[in-house]
Amino acid sequence: MAKSLATSGGFDLQAIRADFPSLAQQVKGKDLVYLDNAASAQIPQQVVDAIRHFHEVDRSNIHRGVHTLSQRATSAYEAAREKVQAFINAPFLEEVVFTSGTTESLNLLANGIGKSLREGDEILISAMEHHSNIVPWQMLCEHTGAKLVVIPINDAGELDMQAFSALLSERTRLLSVVWISNALGTINPVEEMIHQAHQYDIPVCLDAAQAAPHTIIDVQKLDCDYLAFSGHKLFGPNGVGILWGKKDLLEALPPYQGGGDMIEHVSFEKTTYAGLPNKFEAGTPNIAGGIGLGAAVDYVNSIDFQAAADHESALLTHATERLASIPGIRPVGTAQNKASVYSFVIDGTHPHDIGTILDQQGIAIRTGHHCAEPVMKRLGVDATARASFAFYNTHDEVESLGEGLEKVVRMFGIG
């Protein structure tokens, strides 16, 4: 059980950091400064303990056994589903489908929707999508003759909402859009987009992989039709995530995979399928991962979420101001409404060199195209360096990043 971290000041940052054992280590003889949270966040001891308890005490397959271990494992796994239901305010428990993560969730949806697509139909996405929200739809269009339509972005990395409105039509069969860009930190106006899409009866899928750690998710208030996120970005384990969908829409989709636990009856002549969510959960799932995701949700719920969000916003402001004072640094993605992601380039320096030099100082950032090559091309860069902050990061770590980057520009003779 996660301890209460609420204090009169919002939350106890040092107590939070103490819950994350990986943050206490040294790298290359330096205290670790972990700023790669948009790729994978660290996990608290409470999540480690939940996973270990399953393996040490309750390890068994679920849903099929009458013995005690199986019953306990099943109860813990399904309790995790209930926690996710509450976390996103889903109206029905069976709407929460466990997957291996956002990528599988989007592929599951594309597979199901593809059965009804016809030539001339359109799938609408944005120019800032992660590859996971591009490639499945491209593959689908290649097989069906449907068309992939892309909402453009401006130089700041913001959606062109006028163009978005113009692209909606009776041909649009789905809008699938990222809520928060992993490459830029841009927070898209998804409430307005959902409202406009629904004027044409267009269902909307939200890629909430980056939103889940940073904002409150209420699928009923949003009125989106599908939503996906991954556990490893929500301070939970790898290899687990969810697809949520409105019950009637999920019931209309065909199964994604065949095998055990997704069936009602099997004969050589015909198979009938189980109801939700089992229809989409073929085979033995990542049981420990699901339980760990439930523990991660418990942990996030134990924190003053608004205080955490305010802290992350202050870190981004600090980083933006601190790095602006360093010669040669150019931010990439300057949207007015941003999450705690700072992407940048240094003129005359490859991002991989930046990351390598920072690593020598114990500072972990991400470099590359961030599985978002089209947005890199649109903004005129091959790759960026990206520092991404979580609620356990500190202002001292922002200063360490600034000092590390000052060393980079000195080494390359910039400024």
Q: Counting Cβ atoms within 10 Å, is residue 309 exposed (0-12), middle (13-18) or buried (19+)?
A: middle
Residue positions counted in the chain: 415
**Pairs from 12-15 (Cβ < 8 Å, separation ≥ 24):** 13/311, 13/391, 13/392, 13/394
Cα–Cα dist 160/126, whole Å: 9
Residues 6 or more apart in contact with residue 176 via CB below 8 angstroms: 106, 109, 123, 124, 125, 129, 133, 137, 204, 205, 207, 226
Q: What is the distance of C-alpha 65 from the center of its chain?
A: 33
Cα angle: 285, vertex 289, 6; to 5 degrees:
145
Q: Identify which of 383, 389, 359 has the alpha carbon closest to the alpha carbon of residue 370.
A: 383
Residues labelled as active-site residues: 371
Supply the Cα-derived Rg of the chain in whole angstroms. Answer: 22
Cα–Cα dist 377/148, whole Å: 18
Cα–Cα dist 181/179, whole Å: 7
